[in-house]
Structure 1
Amino acid sequence: MKLTTKLMTSAALAMGLTGAAIAQDDPFQIGFVYVGPIGDYGWTWTHDQGRLAVEEAFGDDVETVFAESVPEGADAERVIQNMVLGGADMIFTTSFGYGEATNAVAGQFPDVYFEHATGYLREHENVSTYSARFYQGRAVIGHIAGQMTESNIVGYIASYPIPEVIRGINAAYLHAREVNPDVEFRVIWVYTWFDPAEEASAAQALIDAGADVIMQHTDSTAPQAAAQEAGNVYTFGQASDMIQFAPTPRISSIIDNWGPYYVRRVGEAMEGTWAQSDTWEGMTEGMVVIGEMTDAIPEEVRASALDLMEGMQSGTYHPFTGPINRQDGTAWLADGEVADDGTLAGMDFYVEGITGEIPN
């Protein structure tokens, strides 16, 4: 684990510091806890871009602190606590598995603001949760993938079997199947957010199984590199643009745009208007963005993908609109019925047509 600050060393934070009270004219200090390295060019990199946006927006009025590659467990609680003891006024914990640690520390420090990404636990009034409607972006790349595959096999590298990931698989599959009824999804669960070797191995296994399009819900660029080496395999950037792999294998991407949210919430905390919330924003708000579609995508496919995006941005189309059945063939959504947020937030099932089981 590495901890970096403008004015504070990692050694000082590890000691917990004494006299952590902040003088009135001191900068407002914000801590960020990351599950991966900021150089992953994926999930953590995009959150760190949000941190930099906060610095740019508020200048010398703020000071930011970050800890990278923090495991989801006891280590996270220690890191969060040490950030508070080091003077943090506000902390963003940026991975699902930090939920319990975030709330445990929040209960000890009621005057500090806590924001937990992709979580649902808000056990104290000083804890908010926030996430993006990633499934909107996955609907778009599924739509593209279904038309780009020649083998009719799309590979999907999945991290952990939590609702966020399951939603993404379902959204991508539904929209791939809509344009290609013969498409097949093959999912490999790697049980990690960031492990380049494991991700590369999963990508190669999918390629060996015939997949000529690879999607990922993991954070490194290793699947992109594996596809590039294999040739004739298309990929999509995950969380960040991963544009260094364009024009192929990366033909588009899902970009997580955290900066506006971080700037808004820090501003509210500094002004004293911050209130507990559960934020879930998507394409309409600009939190989910589709990266450049390269010329490898035929013009008619690009145009139909843009139409799909426009529908979601305007609110006239929802990716989970019936008729949709569950994997076992039982009805889930009737014709024209739209999934409610509660069901989506707790999604623990595959839709009809996806083979395999969701692991525990």
Structure 2
Amino acid sequence: MKLPERVLAVNLNQLGDALFTTPALALLRERLPDAHIDVQAGGRAASVLAGNRDIDHLYARPPRRGMSRNAALLRTLRAGRYDAVILFQSNLSYAILARAAGVPVRVGFAQNACGPFLTRRVPPARRGEHLVASYVRLIDAFCEGGEVPAAGHLPLKVAVSAADHAFADGFLREQGLTTPVVALVIGTTRPQKRWPEEYWSVLADRLWDACGARSLLIGGPDEAAEAARIRAAARSPLVSAVGHTDMKQLAALLSRCSVVVTGDSGPMHLATAVGTPVVALFGSTDPRETGPWHGAPDHPVRGSVLYDALPCAPCGKSPTCGGRFDCLRGLTPERVFAATASTLGVGTWDPLPVIPTTGGV
């Protein structure tokens, strides 16, 4: 088979999902070193992929759904004269547009009615399979086999500039923060992923009293009021970076922290990409599928994952508990403190609650 010379990968919109595709893009570049590889991505995904050396050109997708977004993709497909398109996102409209644009090779997951419009159909992610592994399978099918790199060769990637690191260092210096600094990511995309607000101040105080660790609140502008309430409830001197960074600055800031305590969120994957240990709190989602990724399914997680696997979990986007979220409420501040202190190297911790991320490539 003649190797494709011009490839467009249609990426996802969310921060974490986009980071999940970076190992697959690295594999694609390894398999096709001379190909021109473009990526179209939307929202925060485009910002976190900027500067990725496996990508030749990055197109930012319009923020609004509907005709404007579809028209932008069709223009990109036609102008780029691509001989292959890879659909990381199982979007029926995108599959139809790829065929309408006459792209000869169209690879994607056989779900959401996309199958008839694809030339290579890949089974979607299996239950318990990490999404990174499913994206790697997509590239493996696109390249028609070959040896998948060994464990540890496919980490998440984010390009952080010297200016981003300078911002992070300046912020920490201005706030008088020295190690150990523990980042507390209070924001998530859905309420069923959100650790109880009143737990954060308790955790911060325990870290300060027992470990001398300063806590740094992380979140977007929408979490500003919550951050203010957490700071008011705490005895310890909390610092807030909520709403003060862009994605790359946040990555740099997380790289300077000793540990990141977080729910299933984009910043969790940013922390993983820059090599900072995480204490990840899971409830409504399966950590085997979206948990911290460190290069391969059997690669050890730096830090820990707390997940009680209640009978109702994972409920995904359809919680049945009436908003109680017992899956997260059961992850008490004392349990999370013990895991965090152990990761800091200043305590011991019973590892029984930890569910390591697993999956198959």
TM-score, with normalisation over the residues of structure 1? Answer: 0.40
TM-score, with normalisation over the residues of structure 2? Answer: 0.40
